Amino acid sequence: MREFLALAVETLDLMLKPFISVLEKSAVKVPVNKIKLNVFCRLLDNGRKLLNLEKNGVQVALGSEVEKLGRVSLLLVFSKQLLDSASASETLRGKRKILFGFHDDFLWLENDLEKSGVHISTEKLEN
């Protein structure tokens, strides 16, 4: 995923939508767990790390995983997409819990970003 982080925010948003779709509709546990752990959990963890470092005034190394993935998780408003997916009628019943859980986590992260007053620039992500 790191290779794609030089793309525009809108392009990254489009690239991540199929992963949300798999979380909605796949009855197979292996790809769902891989997407959970390798995409959304990593985005959440790095978003939290970046926000905590920025709040404490610590400079984050440019190009690091925390800087790149953290910016993606803070710039893309995942909570709304995840809520829409979890609430959709075509979403499998067992997958709603996963999507609502990620919705809550990303909403907390987005609210924490807003309250902190930290500004995350899209400029650094796109360069």
Cβ atoms of residues 56 and 121 within 8 Å? no
Q: What's the mean pLDDT in 103-108? A: 96
**pTM: predicted TM-score of the whole model, two decimal places:** 0.84
Token reading at 47: 């978003």
Q: What is the mean pLDDT of the chain?
A: 87
Percent of the chain scoring above 70 in pLDDT: 89
Q: Indicate the domain borders of the chain.
A: 2-126
Cβ atoms of residues 105 and 44 within 8 Å? yes
pLDDT for 75: 87
For 5-64, what is each residue's pLDDT tens digit? 556 667 777 888 899 999 999 999 999 999 999 999 999 999 999 999 999 989 888 888
CB atoms within 10 A of CB 33: 11
pLDDT for 125: 53
